[in-house]
Structure 1
Amino acid sequence: MTEAEYPAWRAQERAGYIADLLERGVTRQQAETKADSDYATLLPQGPDTPGALLRVLAHGGTDVGTLWVALRAGEPDAAEGGEAYVYAVEVTEEHRGRGHGRTLMLAAEHASLEHRARSLGLYVFGGNTPALRLYESLGYEPTEYQLYKPLL
């Protein structure tokens, strides 16, 4: 991802993150504050943040998806046995269902291996059935099971 592509990507990711938080009962102000704090912590130097791997997937000359992988603790080269984490993988709506999500996840695995990470983690909402199926088909296994119930 180039420096020029970063602001639009960040704005879109921030909006999606805030929407996810709002769905879980967080107030707009809390969601915006959390999003701004998290991005300031995780991507303080934007696309030049050490340990941040930001990629754009193009197909047929069109950008169809993006990927954000972080190496644990922001280390540019994960130490032997280190971990990488997928913070965001997104395929544009009109290009979904064509294998681009799989391509992005395989790119995440490849980039993580290039940086000597030994595992790759990610978080997916339980209701995201297409993503869950994709990750299971790629060999990802659940490590945690959380439940949620709105009380209001």
Structure 2
Amino acid sequence: MIRRGSTLDRSLLLKFMQRTYQDLFPNQDFSHLEQTVKQYFSSDTPLWWVEEDAENEGHGDAGKLLSASPRPPIPASSSPIACLWVGNAIDQVQGNRHAHIFVLYVAPEHRRRGIGTALMQCIENWAIQRGDRQIGLQVFQSNKPALNLYDRLGYQTQSLWMVKFLNAQK
């Protein structure tokens, strides 16, 4: 079941962000993500959680995610299996505001069951309702499953983010 999060879910969001990056870069320290959440998480940056429905546990029925009615924020005792956090960005070519996906994470043991696709459909519907003309996201080149998902859903590369590491002293 999908539930809308609230700003009270700050610590759970941080936990999911750390899991996201830890999956990709297992030997890194991600304590700095707390600053990202502190700086960007607000009532203007919506958050959705997916909880496993006890009746349908293990059935992979992601279609229920889209038809689920909005529910109250998740209780502290609950353990979500997926998370979607969205913010706002400005298209640098057209100047239009659009949704930008900060985090999409599905716990490894729940992947390949349509949950990521259902969350992407949810955010697309939300963005259309508010008048957005596009959705942006950033994905690591090494994250092949995510790249495959976004490609299958029609996302296209618009720009490349390039970095050069420097030997600067702190």
Taking structure 2 as the reference length, the TM-score comes to 0.64
Shift of 1:118: 1.5
Secondary structure (helix, strand or coil) at the match of 1:126 reads coil
Deviation of 1:96 (Å): 0.4
1:1-152 aligned at under 5 Å gives the runs: 1-2=5-6, 5-14=9-18, 16-17=20-21, 28=29, 32-33=31-32, 35-43=33-41, 49-61=42-54, 63-72=80-89, 81-146=96-161
5+ residue gaps, structure 2: 58-79
Number of aligned residue pairs: 135
Helix, strand or coil at the partner of 2:122: helix
C-alpha separation in 2, matches of 1:71 and 1:59: 28
With normalisation by structure 1, the TM-score equals 0.70
Counterparts of 1:38 and 1:143, CA distance in 2:
24
SS at 2:131 equivalent:
coil
Letter in 1 for 2:50: L
Q: Identity across aligned pairs (percent)?
A: 24
Question: Which structure 1 residue ranges, 5 or more long, are not aligned?
Answer: 44-48, 74-79
Higher relative contact order (CA 8 A, sep 6+): 2
**More helix per residue:** 1
Q: Which has the larger radius of gyration?
A: 2
